[in-house]
Amino acid sequence: MFKENEKVTLNGKDYIISQIEWSKGPKACMQCAAVNGRPPCIEAFDYPESNDMFDLRTCSKEIPEFCIPKLVELC
- Torsion, Cα 30 69 44 38, to 10 degrees, reads 50
Which DSSP category does 64 fall into? P
DSSP three-state, residue 7? strand
Neighbours of 20 (CB within 10 A): 15
At 57-74, the pLDDT tens digits run 889 999 999 999 999 985
Per-residue pLDDT at 3 = 96
Which of the pair, 46 or 26, is modelled with greater confidence? 26
Domains of the chain, by residue range, sit at 7-71
Beta bridge partners of 13: 10
Nearest Cα residue to 65 out of 33, 29, 23:
23
